[in-house]
Structure 1
Amino acid sequence: MTNKNVAITFERYPERFQKPLLELRALIFETAASISAVGELEESLKWSQPSYATKASKSGSPIRIDRFGDEKIALYFHCQTTLVEEFRALFSEVVEFSKNRAIVLDPDKELPKKELAFCIEQALTYHKR
């Protein structure tokens, strides 16, 4: 991790949350790397949450990851996009949602990586549609 503040944030999560959040982080970077239009991601903190933005290409909408309440974790998307609405139509049987803002996940269960990679790709290319 090149951003010290992000690294410190991950270190502060209880292990139960740290591992799946780091898996989400890796999935975001892997997905971004597989899409030439995305370019380099900027990792930073927004609202004290790890945030991933397509600063160079401006191809997408930022994604944030964090705990969700006391028991869950989430991928957060900009609420003024249609992203969560689109994901809900496709994956309501697979993941839980919070309003028009987030995909909510159980940190104790295996991440549905195929579906999440699709959602991440859609967010990272949102402005290219």
Structure 2
Amino acid sequence: MTDPVDAAIEAAPERARAGLHALRALIHRVAAEDGIALEEALRWGQPAFLAARGASLRIGTPSKAMRQQADFALYVHCQTPLIVEFLAGPGAGQRVEGSRAVLFRQGEALDEAALGFLIRRTLTWHDP
């Protein structure tokens, strides 16, 4: 039986697949380094990464309106301060879509240190 997350990534446009695989691997690496148990699932048809005590992360292709700016994206819950914190810290200068996503182009190197900060914060975030 095919893993639904693998199937969703393989169904993405070719220009997004390598980046989506890289983001998935980075999410798992950061979670493992911090001892965070992850569950993978599909949410809104996109691969989602869920931690027991945190907000979910999703990866996927941007909305039609954003496709001229990006080939793939890392999504966080839009009603959190996570993107604002990211941009104020190690994510300064990254391309984002409001408070919901970090945007990437095919072939761009991922800033793993900055994205690791965002992934870690998201997987451990809770509403104060």
Normalised-by-shorter TM-score class:
0.7 to 0.9
Aligned to 1:123: 122
- What is the deviation of 1:114? 1.2
- What is the deviation of 1:15? 2.7
Letter in 2 for 1:47: W
Aligned to 1:11: 10
- How far does the alpha carbon of each residue in 1:93-122 deviate from its partner, in whole angstroms, 9 at most, with x for none? 2x1111111111112211111111111011
Which sections of structure 2, spanning at least 5 residues, go unmatched?
none
Aligned to 2:82: 83
SS of structure 1 residue aligned to 2:47? strand
Aligned to 1:20: 19
Aligned to 1:45: 42
Letter in 2 for 1:61: A
Partners of 1:31 and 1:13 lie apart in 2 by 24
Q: Are the equivalent residues in 2 in contact too, given 1:3–1:43 (CA < 8 A)?
A: no
Identity of aligned residues (%): 35
Partners of 1:10 and 1:80 lie apart in 2 by 25
The list of structure 1 runs, each at least 4 consecutive aligned residues, that deviate by more than 3 angstroms after superposition, is: none
Number of aligned positions between the proteins:
122
Aligned CA-pair RMSD: 1.9
Q: Are the equivalent residues in 1 in contact too, given 2:86–2:117 (CA < 8 A)?
A: no
Partners of 2:56 and 2:101 lie apart in 1 by 12
TM-score by length of 2: 0.86
Q: Are the equivalent residues in 1 in contact too, given 2:95–2:102 (CA < 8 A)?
A: yes
Which sections of structure 1, spanning at least 5 residues, go unmatched?
none
- What is the deviation of 1:88? 1.6
Partners of 1:124 and 1:3 lie apart in 2 by 26
Aligned to 2:53: 59
